[in-house]
Structure 1
């Protein structure tokens, strides 16, 4: 699945507000879809890169030999899911998805992101 197709597929998740595929080494977005005035996906990509880097450092400091699947940020009206992806070419990426909390099913969204990740080719 291409980046564009991946992002379009991500937006089919019930309650999706916006999505981005981000290289967390550089903090640059490889593509975005959705968003708007209240959700600037370029800012979200850059700032969530810092969230990912901090969590990776925390695992290293704690000497936890495990892999992060996703990071969930729960807001009063939204869920933000950061799904880490290790691309075949060695790129370290994450798929970011913002959901309307009232219209989404978190478990189903996480399951769908896992499937989408397995079909992504960068």
Structure 2
């Protein structure tokens, strides 16, 4: 099992095209840890904003009576992929991993696979 710092570092180094990653508490909108980003990618602002995305999807699923769990949410921009992956482990309830990828240099399928693996090893 890996802690938050190790998992964020592994995400940035093992996923090609990673621009930034955050572990976010979607009950508060606060980033519990971030790595990467920069002046054009404020991960704390993105974390708070994407909390609304997760909350809206969870609420919609409840209204529809869907019992499935969200594996991930993908937002595609002209130059980036934004991947939101709610944690499903015993300690991850209410948390999600948020990953920003360079669309030109990343492999989305591999990134999703790697992020799922990192999530499975993460202990919070």
Q: Which runs of 5+ in 1 are unaligned?
A: none
The whole-number CA distance in structure 1 between the counterparts of 2:33 and 2:105 is: 24
Which of structure 1's runs of 4+ aligned residues deviate more than 6 A?
none
**Alignment length, in residue pairs?**
122
Which residue number corresponds to residue 29 of structure 1?
A: 31
TM-score, normalization by structure 1: 0.97
TM-score, normalization by structure 2: 0.95
1:1-12, aligned counterparts within 5 Å?
1-12=2-13
Residue 45 of structure 1 aligns to a residue whose secondary structure is helix
Which residue number corresponds to residue 46 of structure 1?
A: 48
1:1-122, aligned counterparts within 5 Å?
1-12=2-13, 13-89=15-91, 91-122=93-124
Residue 37 of structure 1 aligns to a residue whose secondary structure is coil
RMSD: 1.0
Q: Which runs of 5+ in 2 are unaligned?
A: none
Q: Does the CA contact (< 8 Å) of 2:11 and 2:21 recur in 1?
A: yes
Q: Does the CA contact (< 8 Å) of 2:30 and 2:47 recur in 1?
A: yes
